[in-house]
């Protein structure tokens, strides 16, 4: 992708949107780590390790946000929305 061309912005709509954004960010950092190891510039291993650490931070933050959201819903007494698989499954 050219440097000056920005990808379309992902708007986090609900839990699925936030998960998609976190997954996209983690994939980007992992790809950055892969390029850092192979580009031949100095400190490639260090830059790759930093990019992998950033990917883990993104994933952990998304998990933490989901946990806080779940606890807040439980504290407020609002029911959790049905899961997509549960909403589409046939009645037994």
Helix (H, G, I), strand (E, B) or coil at 76: helix
Q: Where exactly are the structural domains of the chain?
A: 14-79
- What's the count of helices (H) and strands (E) in the chain, helices before strands? 3, 0
Q: Dig out the tokens for 47 from the structure.
A: 């830059």
Considering only residues 45 and 77, tell me which one the structure prediction assigns the higher pLDDT.
Answer: 45
| Distance between CA atoms of residues 20 and 30, nearest Å | 15
Residue 69 pLDDT > 90, yes or no? no
Considering only residues 8 and 75, tell me which one the structure prediction assigns the higher pLDDT.
Answer: 75
What is the pLDDT at residue 19? 85
Residue 4 pLDDT > 60, yes or no? no
Q: How far is CA 44 from CA 25, 58, 92, in A?
A: 20, 21, 55
Residue 34 pLDDT > 70, yes or no? yes
């Amino acid at each position: 992708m050219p440097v000056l061309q920005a990808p379309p912005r992902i708007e986090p709509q609900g839990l699925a949107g936030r998960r998609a954004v976190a997954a996209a960010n983690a994939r980007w950092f992992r790809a950055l780590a892969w390029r850092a190891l192979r580009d031949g510039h100095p400190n490639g291993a260090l830059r790759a390790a930093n990019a992998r650490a950033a990917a883990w931070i993104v994933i952990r933050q998304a998990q933490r946000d989901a946990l806080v959201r779940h606890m807040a819903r439980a504290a407020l007494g609002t029911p959790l929305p049905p899961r997509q698989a549960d909403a589409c499954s046939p009645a037994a």
